[in-house]
Amino acid sequence: MSSADFRVESSHPISGRLWPVGGSQQYFFSDRSLAVAMAAKSVTKPSGQEIRVVHVPTGEIVFTKPGSSRAEWSDD
């Protein structure tokens, strides 16, 4: 596997306490488990947008965190 086999992406900027720099719409990982964990712990700005983990070589979506506008999930 290459150094960027998995991409965490969203159509909106991704943020979270675990990211070194917030505000990007995509991040790359070599480890699937780490990519999924980071996506699961992340939110978007504005909140409630979908976050996906994509296997870059095949384009397969391996994880999706659905968008939600539920108030208890909001980071505002």
Domain range list for the chain: 6-69
**46 or 35: which leads in pLDDT:** 35
Task: Tell me the mean pLDDT in the region 5-31.
Answer: 91
Apex CA 8: angle with CA 75 and CA 39, to 5°?
A: 40
Structure confidence at residue 32 (pLDDT): 97
Measured CA to CA, the distance from residue 37 to residue 69 in angstroms comes to: 21
Buried-state track 10-23, b at ≥16 Cβ within 10 A, e below 16: bebebbeeeeeeee
| 69 confidence band (pLDDT: 50, 70, 90) | low
Instruction: Check pLDDT > 60 for residue 55.
Output: yes
Q: Can you name the residues that pair with 9 across neighbouring β-strands?
A: 26, 52
Report the greatest alpha carbon distance in the chain: 39
